[in-house]
Structure 1
């Protein structure tokens, strides 16, 4: 394959795809390691908002919405996996390029890049909001109580520079499997703290059943949908995680995706139910804000959440720097000074914005509502519908093929033969001459065929080996996956996912804009 062809196909030059010639970029992640990393992407600051969603939507109604959102998110990632089988690409950029060509791919990658930039900046703001009260509480009786050591603008950059920044330079996301495991432990810590505090409160005051809201069918439910519909967002990292999975057959890939979705449902259900039963209608948008600053359980919960956000940020950051690099440098590999420069630029922009624009979270809530629904629901369904349509078109036979090797020149059927011409006699002599020439050519061809058979066999083996190497990164050419006919999904489910994403996006955007214009105390 020439360099031009490889650039057009986007295989070896796709920066969102692992470098196949780099031995370090081998598939080394286990199912559990990949599950932890994908769960790390899925779980995050949204965990603290789930109790508020339960308050707004009602306990049972919120659980139903959450399970439906989890199922739809699983199906959207399933569509991404099916899309890779059709187009033989294993990245968001590759799949989008196959579906919508280069211009469409640039728009998709730019959307992902802006969305991740917003998520990372929001994470830094949350870290600052969690770290500052702890330091103020620790230093409130000292001479440093009102010094720069308790200033949010000092604590946030120092904290993320010491913790997040060093973890942002790994070349493989597999290296973040252990930090991802720590995130799960930290969130379990927060969940246990919430459950224990709630059980203790119910033991002292009992369950006030009159205050429990099970269903909500009025406008308040619109506050729950944005939180719960985007609580399972991890699609922008699904390719990166599954690319590095050992023996990444479709079954193993779906196990990883299912583990991440189930872990989200488990955490969100427990924190949502017990957080809501603790504070009822007083439940705030961040459950930790319901606790006093000097409350021991609140301090424990904040520390656990700080650990979770610190180790979640590099996983989200990984996809951001890959997307930004692909926008700026296109087909150039991300390595050396280029990789460091891209990571530092994205990191610095996020830190500066979080320091000087602390209310940026509200702005990114609007963009996140649009970008989040695009990434989770709309783009995967559009990718699959477009690629499915293109695949079916390729399967249809052409109606204008030449039959039996005959010349199909329409002029011979329209123009009459000239009876006075010497064409027939000339044709007979030409036919005899051509027969002799054809006999000689056929003998030479038979000899050449035997010689070329071995060469072609070797060439085909080399081509197959290179093709297998390209496709094995996403498990597209393992023995179990070789299929002459790809099993296509019913498009009706993709349309349902697309419609849900559009409706959810409109609701999320309206509620976010309303909250930005008329902020409500949550």
Structure 2
């Protein structure tokens, strides 16, 4: 999910910095010959049959072991988004919530797997060792069916801009969450409403603008460590509260309150557990990239653990707090108790130090588009101004929509359904189409067509349901 404290990500200077794929790698269409079954043999060309090994050309000094990649995927998935799962269950009910979490996890995992497999196919075809997610989309279309090749640059820009808006809106959600925590703490100790929530959000500009000027990943390592430590500690105390005087399951809904609840559930679950932005950077730095996929692959094992933990937290969190569950479960804890106040502080600090890590991605993508228009002598000043303006824009969005539930649902519905489902399905379809026989093409079209349809339906229904919920949101009832 985007809401991770310390996941590797594509950015303008890292994996996505190379920009456009060298069109010298585009395979010669004249090498395409019919095999009698209407199948194009060009991708079975000599580049795939020789001894070229893309994985042997990678930098050895910075490679992860399988265990290291597993923990990076696990750490990436277990970000602050896990605290939103009880709110997702409040829209689905207990049983449908568990089933929906498992289904969402299976879809997310499959889409990550087909993205990696498609990229690894392109390594051999193009004789290059690594590709970022945007580069994979561009290379897929540049070497796909002839009619789709003009879309290659659009595909890369679509992925990069989707990543940008995904992380930017996620940061707005973080800022709202921090503002809500600070407001609760101030009102608890002052015993009265002093300021509007928007004032607390605006005040966050003081620490965030300088924090978001960090331009090297190594300087963000302490931020990641602090954020992860606070999330673990805060989640531990929250689990104590969840198990303390746990209500009878029969006191909670087992199914949806209304049909509009399920799109919001899926949007929130996608926001919480989707980690598509971290997949290619981790694969690019593995010692054994072939172990990334498969039934016993690193990704499958990591996502199994993530889905199981998310289902447990969502189930137990909703069982404890019922329909009063808020967008961040820490906000649902009793404000008058010291341990609960500690959790709010810990989660607030965790999210505060998560923002610079996520912000790095947005700033690098945006700067990659702006930098060509700035003279080299003014690059440092220009990048600093760009970073300051961007974080201010995120705060303006947070002030305009200070509703954490709404932002989470919209980000999940629009951007995670596009990046996590639509893009991998489209890439696999384009990469494998001309190398498949007619029966395989039929299966590819059916399976990936269904995934694309699910993505579009999730986006449309999720946006509608989130906006409907925001406009006609009922008053919360006391939870027994």
Is TM more than 0.5 here?
yes
Q: How many residues align?
A: 402
Instruction: Tell me the secondary structure at the aligned position of residue 496 of structure 1.
Output: helix
Aligned residue among 118, 125, 128 for 1:83 = 118
> What CA distance in whole angstroms lies between the structure 2 residues aligned with 1:122 and 1:314?
14
Instruction: Tell me the secondary structure at the aligned position of residue 213 of structure 1.
Output: coil
Q: Does 1:249 align with 2:289?
A: yes
Measured at CA, do residues 267 and 231 of structure 1 come closer, stay the same or move farther in structure 2, by a change above 3 Å? same
Alignment of 1:222-233 (within 5 A): 222-233=263-274
Q: String of CA shifts for 1:225-270, please: whole Å, max 9, x gaps.
A: 221233222212322233233x142204675533542343243233
Instruction: Tell me the secondary structure at the aligned position of residue 291 of structure 2.
Output: helix
Contact 2:74 2:303 in 1 (8 A): yes
Q: Does 1:129 align with 2:129?
A: no
Contact 1:284 1:290 in 2 (8 A): yes
Superposition CA RMSD, Å: 4.1
Q: Does 1:288 align with 2:320?
A: no
Instruction: Tell me the secondary structure at the aligned position of residue 358 of structure 1.
Output: helix
Alignment of 1:483-494 (within 5 A): 491=444, 492-494=446-448
Find the counterpart in structure 2 of residue 350 from structure 1: 391
> What CA distance in whole angstroms lies between the structure 2 residues aligned with 1:238 and 1:65?
23
Find the counterpart in structure 2 of residue 94 from structure 1: 135
Q: Compute the displacement of 1:369 (Å).
A: 1.9
Q: String of CA shifts for 1:201-225, please: whole Å, max 9, x gaps.
A: 23xxxx3343132233841334322
Q: Does 1:53 align with 2:88?
A: yes
Contact 1:195 1:270 in 2 (8 A): no
Measured at CA, do residues 147 and 106 of structure 1 come closer, stay the same or move farther in structure 2, by a change above 3 Å? closer
> What CA distance in whole angstroms lies between the structure 2 residues aligned with 1:259 and 1:315?
25
Contact 2:270 2:412 in 1 (8 A): no
Aligned residue among 494, 505, 510 for 2:464 = 510
Q: Does 1:165 align with 2:234?
A: no
Q: Compute the displacement of 1:62 (Å).
A: 0.6
Measured at CA, do residues 390 and 49 of structure 1 come closer, stay the same or move farther in structure 2, by a change above 3 Å? same
Q: Compute the displacement of 1:302 (Å).
A: 1.4
> What CA distance in whole angstroms lies between the structure 2 residues aligned with 1:352 and 1:380?
30
Find the counterpart in structure 2 of residue 156 from structure 1: 204
Find the counterpart in structure 1 of residue 157 from structure 2: 106
Aligned residue among 363, 374, 381 for 2:425 = 381
Q: String of CA shifts for 1:394-418, please: whole Å, max 9, x gaps.
A: xxxxxxxxxxxxxxxxxxxxxxxxx
Tell me whether 94-103 or 125-134 shows the greater mean CA deviation.
125-134
> What CA distance in whole angstroms lies between the structure 2 residues aligned with 1:104 and 1:346?
25
Measured at CA, do residues 170 and 32 of structure 1 come closer, stay the same or move farther in structure 2, by a change above 3 Å? farther
Q: String of CA shifts for 1:122-174, please: whole Å, max 9, x gaps.
A: 22232222234335656x49xxx9699x9515641233346x436x42247xx
Find the counterpart in structure 2 of residue 208 from structure 1: 248
> What CA distance in whole angstroms lies between the structure 2 residues aligned with 1:10 and 1:518?
53
Q: String of CA shifts for 1:354-379, please: whole Å, max 9, x gaps.
A: 15752335575535521221001011
Compute the TM-score of the two structures, normalised by the length of structure 2.
Answer: 0.70
Find the counterpart in structure 2 of residue 433 from structure 1: none
Contact 1:191 1:271 in 2 (8 A): no
> What CA distance in whole angstroms lies between the structure 1 residues aligned with 2:402 and 2:121?
38
Measured at CA, do residues 353 and 326 of structure 1 come closer, stay the same or move farther in structure 2, by a change above 3 Å? closer
Tell me whether 349-358 or 50-59 shows the greater mean CA deviation.
349-358
Q: Does 1:240 align with 2:285?
A: no
Find the counterpart in structure 1 of residue 361 from structure 2: 319
Contact 2:425 2:452 in 1 (8 A): yes
Contact 1:47 1:271 in 2 (8 A): yes
Measured at CA, do residues 391 and 304 of structure 1 come closer, stay the same or move farther in structure 2, by a change above 3 Å? farther
> What CA distance in whole angstroms lies between the structure 1 residues aligned with 2:471 and 2:255?
28
Aligned residue among 441, 447, 455 for 1:501 = 455
Measured at CA, do residues 73 and 260 of structure 1 come closer, stay the same or move farther in structure 2, by a change above 3 Å? same
Segments of 5+ residues of structure 2 without an aligned counterpart are 1-17, 27-56, 124-129, 142-150
Q: String of CA shifts for 1:106-131, please: whole Å, max 9, x gaps.
A: 23322222222111222223222223
Segments of 5+ residues of structure 1 without an aligned counterpart are 12-20, 394-486
Q: Does 1:63 align with 2:103?
A: no
Find the counterpart in structure 2 of residue 473 from structure 1: none
Instruction: Tell me the secondary structure at the aligned position of residue 230 of structure 1.
Output: helix
Instruction: Tell me the secondary structure at the aligned position of residue 264 of structure 1.
Output: helix
Find the counterpart in structure 1 of residue 241 from structure 2: 197
Contact 1:97 1:104 in 2 (8 A): yes
> What CA distance in whole angstroms lies between the structure 2 residues aligned with 1:490 and 1:179?
45
